[in-house]
Amino acid sequence: MKKVTIHIMPKKDVLDPQGKAIQTSLSALGFSEVEEVQTGKLVEVFMKDSEDINQRIGEMCDKLLANPVMEDYHFEVEEAVRS
């Protein structure tokens, strides 16, 4: 069993109003050193291992998990430790 951690972030030139609002809020709380905040999504997928696991995850991201028009993604695959 593998644990796949997928990070989905808005593309560089895409407006991230949520990140902007968080930045404004942090600065109101006195964290004036914050220069930029970007928000995204983190998805954890537990799946069977296979030879083409990276390709399969790429397909999942392209078809559903990320929207290539506005988002980029990257992922890490590790051995799943189930408690």
Phi/psi region, residue 30 (left: phi>0; alpha: psi -120 to 50; beta: rest), is left
Site for another protein contains 69 (CB under 8 A): yes
- Among 27-35, 49-57, 59-67, 72-80, the segment contacting another protein (CB under 8 A): 59-67
Task: Give CA–CA dist 65/80, Å, rounded.
Answer: 20
Contact between 70 and another protein by CB under 8 A: the answer reads: yes
- Site membership for another protein, residue 63 (CB under 8 A): yes
CB 6 within 8 A of CB 81: no
Residues that bind another protein (CB under 8 A): 14-15, 17-18, 21, 41, 63-65, 67, 69-70
